[in-house]
Amino acid sequence: MTTATHFPLNAGGDGAAPGHDPTPVSGAEILIRSLEAEGVEYVFGHPGGAVIKIYDEMHRIQPSWEHILVRHEQGGTHAAEGYAKATGKVGTVLVTSGPGATNCVTGIADAFMDSVPIVVFTGQVPTALIGNDAFQECDTIGVTRSITKHSFLVRDVADLASTVRAAYHIARTGRPGPVVVDLPKDVLLATAPFHYPDEVALPGYSYVGKGNREQIERAAEMIMASEKPLLYVGGGTINSGATKELTALARKTGIPVTTTLHGLGAFPETDPLSVGMLGMHGTWYANQAVQNSDLLIAVGARFDDRVTGKLDAWAPQAKIIHIDIDPACISKNVPVDCPILGDVRLVLEELEPLLSAKDTSAWLARIDGWREDCPMDFVPDGKLRPQQIIQALREKTGGDAVVVTDVGQNQMWAAQFFSYARTRSHITSGGLGTMGFSLPAAMGAAFGMRGQDVPVISINGDGGFLMNSQELGVCAAHGLPLKIVILNNSFLGMVRQWQELFHDERYSHTDLTTTNPDFVALAKAYRCEGLRCDKPEDVQATIDKAWEINDRPVLMEFQVITEEMVFPMVPAGAATDDMITQRFDPELSA
């Protein structure tokens, strides 16, 4: 058997390992060797007719990267997202044409909304048949144009290696995002010499680095002059690798920190300066701090509607500094007083030396008063409540875990009660809000965390879990020690909550009581361990037992009460200081 040369793995950053071989090889082999040169570790994929040549060459060459056969292409894209979010590297997906590509659309859109760097390789019919409605043909570039950072249709095998190089460069630089590379079958069969460029030639593509010095100096003056400043931190801070710089700045100045859902972990929530998450299901005291602040310092955040609520009533007293790498986000939703376009880490590196310690004691005391008025807690009453389970997981891990949540009530309880202390420890679907995200994303994160003694926990509702439960088979096949939690309230919980609060308790098509499977039996059918808990006093024992099993996934089904709701919450269209803080809030019935 002839074996192709394996190029060394890329140690990180944007510089790929160069490679050159004058012997003509197939486009499929060029792709495989390009991924090696790029330093790819895992490819989440599923074979099909348009990409069968790649899989054939994969069998012959045995590449240095590992192919993970997913059970559904959507699961593959979410796995790539989870890998990317947990490691900071680019995730990779390989699927066939037509339905293979369209099954990836949700994951691509999710990555686009949440700025996740993934490259999705899709098969395509031969170039001569494009536009002829050939078998399994789809205009993948057209379908994904609005949900990708960039896309390529490779028409010449000689362009393939340089296209791969460009795709990874675009995905990881600037504001990260998904890139699609569409591969016609005849291009994969054609031959050309292999040359992987060590530099990228993209004259039409640029991204910012350092911020404008004058604007940074102006921001420093505004910060030092403020009396009630607040750092509002988003996921861009984590993408930039700026958590160390952010933490140093906050502690030096004594400025309190609130984070978005994606910003969780950017600043340790165990720090006294942390006021937790803001927004629709954020803490009462974080939202009160926003509404009473005289200066908001937005760092890698985009002022989305789940944060701001009613725009004209949001942060009415505050001047705003906005640091972001994407010019499209500056003043898009909220006009800002001091925009700084640049890489968050580089901007904070320049800003921090211009600042000195501030006396924020009165401001912090006021925030602590709000914290005492409406703490983030729950009252144990003998019923199995989801908050107890999240807190028990936090205590078990000491916060040293990667928590991957699904979408809905489970997502909010995990955001409110886990108390994240390390970066890249919280992974979720934010902008698109994709149910079915957690299990495959946790699978991808677990591959990325292989060799590290850090547990990966997948937290799900019963409804969302079933949307991609087939990936249990992949997790079991690879012996991933995932800890999978299902908070089973036998309802589509978040929709049920809205139906109870705002639709006169008309529970239309949200009751899953008679349609849910036996989750423990389902886990065992996939060769995973399954545990069930329905009593508060058994929570700790269930978690302890799950942690004793490390050679396969463990699914823990917690049969929580149906009627539990996520509070606080800001109703749709309301201002963030008009939060509902309990089930029968007098303001709700007024």
Mean pLDDT of 503-514: 95
pLDDT at 14 over 70: no
Mean pLDDT of 8-22: 54
For the beta sheet containing 229-233, the strands, ordered from the edge strand earlier in sequence to the opposite edge, are 274-277, 257-259, 229-233, 295-299, 319-324, 338-341
pLDDT at 256 over 70: yes
Structural contact between residues 569 and 281, judged by C-beta atoms closer than 8 angstroms: yes
* Res 17: pLDDT: 52
Mean pLDDT of 197-217: 93
* Res 378: pLDDT: 86
Distance CA 412, CA 406 (A): 9
Multiple choice CATH, 19-196, 2.30.30.830, 3.40.50.970, 3.40.50.1820, 2.60.40.3670 = 3.40.50.970
Q: Where are the domains of the chain?
A: 19-196, 213-373, 386-559
Question: What is the Cα gyration radius of the chain?
Answer: 25
The pLDDT tens digits for 327-374 are: 999 999 999 999 999 999 999 999 999 999 999 999 999 999 999 999
pLDDT at 83 over 60: yes
The pLDDT tens digits for 90-145 are: 999 999 999 999 999 999 999 999 999 999 999 999 999 999 989 999 999 999 99
pLDDT at 277 over 50: yes
pLDDT at 9 over 50: no
**Closest alpha carbon to 491 in 554, 438, 565, 430:** 565
Q: Which CATH architecture group holds 213-373?
A: 3-Layer(aba) Sandwich (3.40)
Contacts with 314 (C-beta within 8 Å, 6 or more apart), sequence order: 290, 291, 308, 334, 575, 576
Do 213-373 and 19-196 fall under one CATH topology? yes
Multiple choice CATH, 386-559, 1.10.150.170, 3.40.50.720, 3.40.50.970, 3.40.50.300 = 3.40.50.970
Structural contact between residues 489 and 565, judged by C-beta atoms closer than 8 angstroms: no
* Res 191: pLDDT: 98
- Residues classed as catalytic: 73, 135-136, 185, 494
The confidence band for 16, taking pLDDT boundaries of 50, 70 and 90, is: low
* Res 156: pLDDT: 98
Q: How many CB atoms lie within 10 A of CB 272?
A: 10
Structural contact between residues 427 and 85, judged by C-beta atoms closer than 8 angstroms: yes
pTM of the model: 0.94
